Structure 1
Amino acid sequence: MKGRLRLAAFGVLLVATGVPANAADRIVQMQAAQVGPGIDAFPQIVEPVDDAERRINAALKRLDAQVRKAAKSCKAEGGANTSWERGVRTAMHGPRFLSFEINDGTYCGGAHPNTGTTAIVYDLVTGTPVDWTTLLPPALTGKVALATQADETKMVTLSSKRLHALYLKAYRPETGKTNANADDKACRDAVTETVSGEPPAMTVWPDAEAGGLAVQFDLAHVVQACADTVVIPTSTLRREGVQTVLTDAIEAAQAKRP
């Protein structure tokens, strides 16, 4: 009963904010493609129904063009042994938000390959990337910045002590298995360590399958395997003061999953 009431309330909220009932509140269908061998393209919205969705598709094509250009430069710089792999996962495709998790693995010459995870989140009402300062309280956004990615695009990061604390609370909890705890200790130390007391630059995105806000940040190459993604559940997000338009959307998306 509570679930139905919550979804009903979410529908009222969408109407109150002027969101078309057949657009931003729906689960959009996505069509995957490839930029090149081993490089996922951003899935496109199938049969976009409004300007916002068409704007998003156009922006995603520009991102695909950027990684295509970067992969070409990588090969020119490093020669025949270079590689560029990209996986793109649609972590949420409505209602209200469309989010992508992007995982790149690159080798353009040098001592070792590099890996990295980032994300981009669109508002299906406006067709533009979300402004996290309107969705998260100041304690969770902290310092908002743009970080340059492997393909030279700039993605939003949040440096927040409170967000980092929530990440650490859920990161690889200790178990009764002594060996596993010992192996994880080095990773716990790696994700806890800060530079001059400042929190790391974190990437966040709503994840419908996991039912919360995913948080991740990259680490030095020697401890890159410790860079787990942690999902903060909507119940915690509510207690932290996150806007209900985001928490309700995540829960509605999870409820609509097959």
Structure 2
Amino acid sequence: MKTITSVAVAALLLGLAACNQGSTAKTDEDVASAAGAVNLVEKPRLSADIEALPRLSGDSPAIVRINAEFDRLDAAATASATECAEMAGDGPGGGWSRTITRPMTGPAYVTLRESLDVYCGGAYPSTSQTAITYDLSTGDRANWVALLPGLTLVQDQPEEGMPADYVYNVRSARLEALYERKMNAEATDAEWRDQCKDVWKPQPDAELGQGFRIWADAEHGGVAIDADYAHAVQACGGAVYLTADEMREAGAPAVLIDALAAARAAGNWAPKEDAEPAA
């Protein structure tokens, strides 16, 4: 097996930053236990087309909890691929592939992102990307409603028949306005911006508003936000990133802001554009 180790400087940077901050939602002991370098152990592929989730090295209750969820997610991926092939039968389709990237590998938080390409028959294949951030002090998924209280987020309610580990979107009028502002400001292609500006605009007649997905992203040193648009306008989507000041304005705890800064400084994400291919 192959082990990926985040450099230990992340722990030092987080520790120094924590010394200069006031109280946070976590105790000093929680932060200390979560601030060490994160070891991810690569697992064999589930099939030629399905990449397995890595596992976290260690036996703390939080790590055991996260790895147990990864076991469930891998089992669900295998079951979904089998069901897809059965649905396609002898017709076109039957393709189900998954790749995994690592937007943040500590300290304090770990984010893994799953990219799916699925075609089980019918008119069109589908693609999706889902990122999940885990709190290394508890083993829980990051609760963005609580971590960003200034955005007044509301999480979608569980639906009957959905997988137990499904990632539900969050919504709020403030989040819609923030996303529209940042997309307009960061769009470098004038034609694309003109085509998508009405998609980005909040829809006041919508009952709950647009759904979004959020994760911690070390490469950009901030919280990432992406709209979960319908297939017809999916091309207008794209991630935007909150700066440290924007995270503070949204009420984010110091431990999250400091962890993202430390992770960016330490290069705690993969893959990197200049990374050497795996042997």
Matched-pair identity in %: 32
**Corresponding letter in the other structure for 1:8:** L
Report the count of equivalent residues: 248
Shift of 1:20: 6.6
The RMSD of aligned alpha carbons is 2.8
Of the three residues 191, 200, 205, the one matched with 2:200 is 191
SS of residue in 2 equivalent to 1:155:
coil
Instruction: Identify the residue that residue 208 of structure 1 maps to in structure 2.
Output: 218
**Corresponding letter in the other structure for 1:191:** W
Quick one: distance in 1 between partners of 2:152 and 2:50?
Answer: 31
* 1:27-176 aligned within 5 A: 27-33=37-43, 34-46=45-57, 48-79=58-89, 81-137=93-149, 139-146=150-157, 152=163, 153-171=165-183, 173=185
> 1:97·1:249 contact (CA, 8 Å) conserved in 2?
yes
Quick one: distance in 1 between partners of 2:81 and 2:117?
Answer: 11
Of the three residues 247, 250, 255, the one matched with 1:245 is 255
Question: For residues 174 and 91 of structure 1, do their structure 2 counterparts lie closer, same or farther at Cα, with a shift above 3 Å needed?
Answer: closer
| 2:242 aligned with 1:236 | no
Question: For residues 173 and 136 of structure 1, do their structure 2 counterparts lie closer, same or farther at Cα, with a shift above 3 Å needed?
Answer: closer
Question: For residues 154 and 249 of structure 1, do their structure 2 counterparts lie closer, same or farther at Cα, with a shift above 3 Å needed?
Answer: same
CA deviations on 1:13-42 (whole Å, 9 max, x unpaired) are 799432273x41022021333222222221
**Corresponding letter in the other structure for 1:32:** E
Unaligned runs of 5+ in 2: 1-11, 269-279
CA deviations on 1:171-216 (whole Å, 9 max, x unpaired) are 15377x8xx3123322232233537334211110000111111111
Quick one: distance in 2 between partners of 1:220 and 1:111?
Answer: 16
> 1:117·1:216 contact (CA, 8 Å) conserved in 2?
no
Instruction: Identify the residue that residue 17 of structure 1 maps to in structure 2.
Output: 28
Shift of 1:5: 8.5
SS of residue in 2 equivalent to 1:18:
helix
TM-score by length of 1: 0.84
SS of residue in 1 equivalent to 2:112:
strand
Question: For residues 96 and 146 of structure 1, do their structure 2 counterparts lie closer, same or farther at Cα, with a shift above 3 Å needed?
Answer: farther
Quick one: distance in 2 between partners of 1:174 and 1:235?
Answer: 17
CA deviations on 1:205-258 (whole Å, 9 max, x unpaired) are 000111111111222223222221221222211122222121111112112227
Structure whose residues are more often strand by fraction:
1
Question: For residues 35 and 227 of structure 1, do their structure 2 counterparts lie closer, same or farther at Cα, with a shift above 3 Å needed?
Answer: farther
Unaligned runs of 5+ in 1: none
Quick one: distance in 1 between partners of 2:34 and 2:264?
Answer: 16
Question: For residues 234 and 79 of structure 1, do their structure 2 counterparts lie closer, same or farther at Cα, with a shift above 3 Å needed?
Answer: farther
> 1:105·1:113 contact (CA, 8 Å) conserved in 2?
yes
Quick one: distance in 2 between partners of 1:20 and 1:7?
Answer: 8
Shift of 1:70: 0.8
Question: For residues 141 and 119 of structure 1, do their structure 2 counterparts lie closer, same or farther at Cα, with a shift above 3 Å needed?
Answer: farther
Quick one: distance in 2 between partners of 1:61 and 1:110?
Answer: 30
